[in-house]
């Protein structure tokens, strides 16, 4: 056994469990690829300032959870704690917004890093699939993203998730609400850290999950009562479009999300089977983020769905994913000549797109058949010297246990037909 272990708060993904994670990533990505979103990959680390400006100086992510470090060359970098700021930075740097086709629609998949207190469903490295639509202010694009996320979850067989929806207003109506909220919060019994937040970003206090804070928020002013007419109309259109698409949601006037860049449409996907870490994903509109990181005005919207949390939600509902078998055919050669012949057959099957594996290491029949069993293969191909002399291999159906000889020159065609 190695003396090294995975760092605290991280995990390794190993077969067979890793197959579920791959299936979840694929299920989230499929509707996006089908809706005009192109794939983007960004570095695992960025300039610290990108997240400080983009995510927000007052957020827990930036003040407490970011892995920041200085390079040998004196650059201040941080492991990415979320995806949106990096994607927007990359799109601006490549001038994608100038190509004339707005919105620029992008999707991504990767690992993100936050220094948090590890617990089930909350790790220091976690995996997300996200989508961003950059450069269009249109309720239909907000609705599209919510509908696509809903479609992803339903395609996996998830049922017990809820979509929470809110509007955070814009630069016209948010300041009026902010002042009213600050007045209310200053009258509460809060600790020093939380009081500091009232001045920097009072919305953060609404997002505080501690019972001693939540109990005091009865009667807190709600943003929806302060929305300007334009924001109200915009939000109403988003709601109408997702309702018409048959997607159910709940209005949550206290929903604010943990990042400073959100404006207008904000949403969260929650699953009640996950205990305190109930959010499986979320997102919203971030119309001012481009200017915050030095770009032109580019109203945008996006979301990120947690792969780890989605897998936990599937477990909580008892959903078993229909995963393709990693191996369909397993070859067991007995002797050197059989090894050469069957290896060639396995290579041919693989080229035809059939998942095939081989008993490596020259083990005896008993040990090799154990490996065939463990592989989950539907068929096993066995050949020894006598079989080769007869020009056949023994084909065993691992489900029924039936075994029959098949001519070597037709074995690939026969397996292709059987696995159809």
Confidence of residue 117 (pLDDT cuts 50, 70, 90): confident
Q: Are 212 and 190 in contact (CB under 8 A)?
A: no
Q: Are 381 and 394 in contact (CB under 8 A)?
A: yes
Q: DSSP letter string over 169-213?
A: --TTTHHHHHHHHHHHHHTS---HHHHHHHHH-THHHHT---HHH
Percentage of the chain exceeding pLDDT 70:
96
Question: Do the domains 18-173+227-317 and 329-419 sit in the same CATH topology, yes or no?
Answer: no
C-alpha–C-alpha distance, residues 208 and 187, integer Å: 17
- Closest by alpha carbon to 55, among 280, 281, 289, 263? 289
> What pLDDT score was predicted for residue 347?
97
Model-wide pTM > 0.85: yes
- pLDDT exceeds 80 at position 103: yes
* pLDDT tens digits along 295-351: 999 999 999 999 999 999 999 999 999 887 889 999 999 999 999 999 999 999 999
From the options 3.40.640.10, 3.30.930.10, 3.40.50.150, 3.20.20.70, give the CATH code of 18-173+227-317: 3.30.930.10
The tokens of 146 are what? 């919510």
- Closest by alpha carbon to 220, among 197, 203, 236? 203
Confidence of residue 264 (pLDDT cuts 50, 70, 90): very high
> What pLDDT score was predicted for residue 230?
94
Q: Which fold has domain 329-419?
A: Rossmann fold (3.40.50)
What is the layout of strands, in order, in the sheet containing 356-358? Answer: 356-358, 329-333, 379-383, 392-397, 403-407
The tokens of 130 are what? 């996200």
Q: Are 365 and 383 in contact (CB under 8 A)?
A: no
Confidence of residue 32 (pLDDT cuts 50, 70, 90): very high
The neighbour count for residue 186, using CB atoms within 10 Å, is 12
Between residues 216 and 232, which one has the greater pLDDT?
A: 232
Q: Is the peptide bond before 103 cis (omega within 30 degrees of 0)?
A: yes
C-alpha–C-alpha distance, residues 162 and 280, integer Å: 10
> What pLDDT score was predicted for residue 200?
79
Mean pLDDT, the chain, integer: 91
> What pLDDT score was predicted for residue 288?
87
Per domain, the residue ranges of the chain are 18-173+227-317, 329-419
378 HSE (CA, 13 A, CB side): 11
The tokens of 98 are what? 């100038």
CA–chain centroid gap for 1, Å, is 32
Please count the residues of the chain: 420
> What pLDDT score was predicted for residue 326?
86
- pLDDT exceeds 80 at position 54: no
Per-residue CA distances from 391 to 330, 410, 418 (Å): 19, 10, 20
* pLDDT tens digits along 165-206: 999 998 888 888 888 988 998 888 888 888 888 887 788 788
> What pLDDT score was predicted for residue 393?
96
Q: Is the peptide bond before 16 cis (omega within 30 degrees of 0)?
A: yes
> What pLDDT score was predicted for residue 349?
96
Confidence of residue 260 (pLDDT cuts 50, 70, 90): low
> What pLDDT score was predicted for residue 324?
79
Between residues 417 and 212, which one has the greater pLDDT?
A: 417
């Amino acid at each position: 056994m190695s003396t090294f272990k995975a760092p605290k708060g991280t995990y390794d993904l190993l077969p067979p469990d890793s197959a579920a994670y791959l299936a979840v990533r694929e299920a989230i990505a499929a509707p996006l690829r089908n809706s005009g979103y192109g794939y983007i990959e960004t570095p695992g680390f960025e300039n610290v300032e990108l997240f400080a400006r983009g995510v927000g100086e007052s957020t827990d992510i930036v003040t407490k959870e970011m892995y920041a470090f200085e390079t040998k060359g004196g650059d201040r970098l941080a492991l990415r704690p979320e995806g949106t700021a990096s994607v927007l930075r990359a799109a601006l740097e490549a001038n994608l917004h100038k190509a004339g086709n707005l919105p620029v629609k992008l999707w991504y998949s990767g690992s993100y890093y936050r220094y948090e207190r590890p617990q089930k469903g909350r790790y220091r490295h976690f995996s997300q699939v996200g989508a961003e639509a950059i450069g269009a202010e249109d309720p239909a694009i907000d609705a599209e993203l919510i509908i696509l996320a809903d479609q992803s979850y339903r395609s996996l067989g998830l049922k017990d998730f809820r979509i929470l929806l809110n509007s955070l207003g814009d630069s016209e109506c948010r300041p009026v609400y902010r002042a009213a909220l600050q007045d209310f919060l200053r009258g509460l019994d809060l600790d020093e850290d939380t009081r500091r937040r009232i001045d920097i970003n009072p919305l953060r206090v609404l997002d505080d999950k501690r019972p001693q804070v939540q109990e005091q928020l009865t009667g807190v002013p709600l943003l929806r009562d302060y929305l300007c007419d334009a924001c109200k109309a915009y939000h109403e259109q988003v709601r109408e479009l997702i309702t018409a698409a048959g997607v159910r949601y709940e209005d949550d006037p206290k929903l604010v999300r943990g990042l400073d860049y959100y404006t207008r449409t904000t949403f969260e996907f929650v699953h009640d089977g996950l205990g305190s870490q109930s959010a499986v994903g979320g997102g919203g509109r971030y119309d001012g983020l481009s200017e915050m990181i030095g770009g032109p005005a580019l109203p945008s919207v996006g979301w990120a769905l947690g792969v780890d949390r989605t897998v936990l939600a599937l477990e909580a509902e008892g959903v078993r994913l229909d995963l393709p078998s990693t191996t369909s055919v397993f070859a067991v050669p007995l002797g050197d000549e059989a090894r050469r012949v069957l290896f060639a057959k396995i290579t041919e099957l693989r080229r035809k797109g059939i998942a095939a594996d081989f008993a490596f290491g020259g083990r005896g029949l008993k040990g090799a058949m154990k490996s065939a069993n463990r592989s989950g293969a539907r068929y096993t191909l066995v050949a020894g010297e006598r079989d080769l002399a007869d020009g056949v291999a023994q084909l065993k159906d691992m489900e029924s246990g039936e075994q029959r000889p098949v001519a070597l020159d037709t074995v690939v065609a026969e397996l292709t037909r059987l696995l159809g």
